[in-house]
Amino acid sequence: MPISRRDLVDAGSPEVLVKRILQAEPNLPVPVPIEDLCAQLGILRIENLDTDEFEGGLVTDARRSEGTILARLGGEPRRRFTIAHELAHFLMVRHVPDQPDRFLCKSSDLLRLTAKAGDQRQRREVEANRFASLMLMPPHQLRSAMAAFREPDLQHVLVLARDFAVGKEAAARAYVQYHPEKIAIVVAGNSRVQRCYRSLNFPAIIAAVGDPVPTGSLYHGSPHRPNIASDIAACSSDLWIDVNRDLHAPALYEQVYRQPSSFAMILLRLEAVPEESAEERRLNEGWRHRFHSGRR
């Protein structure tokens, strides 16, 4: 690898860091060899972290001249994301650790996508996660992979997770972000909503984090085969989103992927509502006026 730290001077954001790395390494293979990249950029060792309290860590000197990354043993995709996350802390010099020369990150830190205003610790964890996602799934390669996918399908998420060697949830976040249709993926555990990822044009999910998965959802339907995505089926729109009763309800479809553990992903696909013709609009407006005025 020809890349060096000199290529990254003054790169102050995750996006610029990844852009500079990809410019220096235009032929970076997939899965991205994240450990080799660490070695090129000043990480001397990657050691096992033997604790349940933290997911990963970084030990470095004040000048960030070299460092050691710590990562919990576990599934390889999860470990790769942890390593990339800690590499971001190492490369972003304005990331100041809580303890002198040492970062320690919990599993919740590696899931964080937003930060409270003024919370610098949360902000740096969000930035490290953005770097890890972009580095392990380089945008140009992700777009190329997704060009082969048409109709939204959780099977595509599983393919991305396999090919890029990332966790299913990381692949789901990227899939939702880059897919052109209105989709969302709900992550559930123990029959409750844990997290939700939506495309920008998908409306808010009315089931909040911690709420039970809606009773009418396909999730509660006939037993799902573990590790196999179900067929896609229509569901009632108001299970998941607010529906304006004065307008045509949009068509909503669900697909479920369950694992033997309590983990599950629920894909939601929203179809655009056909526009009313002038005649339909005139009739509906007349009906609504009569209804609200009490006339028949």
Residue 172 has a CB neighbour count (10 Å cut-off) of 26
CB-CB neighbours of 178 under 10 Å: 16
- 158 Cβ neighbours under 8 A, 6+ residues apart: 168, 171, 229, 257
- Characterize the bridge pairing of strands 43-49 and 67-72: parallel
How confident is the model at residue 246, as a pLDDT? 58
Q: How many CA atoms lie within 13 A of 36 on its CB side?
A: 12
For 108-139, b/e burial (b = at least 16 CB within 10 A) is: ebbbbeeeeeeeeeebbbbbbbbbbbbbbbbb
Render 27-41 in DSSP notation, one character per residue.
T--SS--HHHHHHHT
Do 207 and 126 share a structural domain?
Answer: no
Tell me how many domains the chain contains.
2
For 91-144, the DSSP string reads: H-TT---SBTTEEEE-TTGGG-----TT-HHHHHHHHHHHHHHHHHS-HHHHHH
Q: How many other CB atoms sit within 10 Å of the CB of residue 224? A: 17
Percent of the chain scoring above 90 in pLDDT: 77
Q: How far is CA 115 from the centre of its chain?
A: 15
- CB neighbours of 16 closer than 8 A, spacing ≥ 6? none
Question: Does any domain span residue 284?
Answer: no
The pTM (predicted TM-score) of the whole model is 0.88
Rounded to whole angstroms, how far apart are CA atoms 291 and 285? 10
User: Are residues 127 and 33 part of one domain?
Assistant: yes
Compute the distance between CA of residue 45 and CA of residue 29 in angstroms, rounded to an integer.
22
How far is 256 from 264, CA to CA, in rounded Å?
A: 7
User: Does one domain contain both 166 and 226?
Assistant: yes
Domain end, chosen from 114, 136, 158, is at 136
What is the per-residue pLDDT for 222? 75
Question: Does some domain include residue 121?
Answer: yes
Q: What is the mean pLDDT of the chain?
A: 90
Provide, for the chain, the percentages of residues in helix, strand and coil under a 3-state DSSP scheme, each rounded to the nearest 5.
35, 20, 45
For 64-123, how does the pLDDT look when each residue is reduced to its tens digit (9 = 90+)? 999 999 999 889 999 999 999 999 999 998 999 888 889 999 999 999 999 999 999 999
Residues 122 and 181 in one domain: no
Indicate whether 289 pLDDT > 70.
no
pLDDT in tens, 190-231: 999 999 999 999 999 999 999 999 999 999 987 788 889 999
Q: What is the CA radius of gyration of the chain?
A: 23
Domain that holds residue 176: 148-270
Same-domain check for residues 25 and 55: yes
pLDDT, position 291: 45
- Better-predicted residue by pLDDT, 249 or 259: 259
DSSP structure class, residue 203: P
Domain identity same for 92 and 72: yes
Domain-located, residue 295 = no
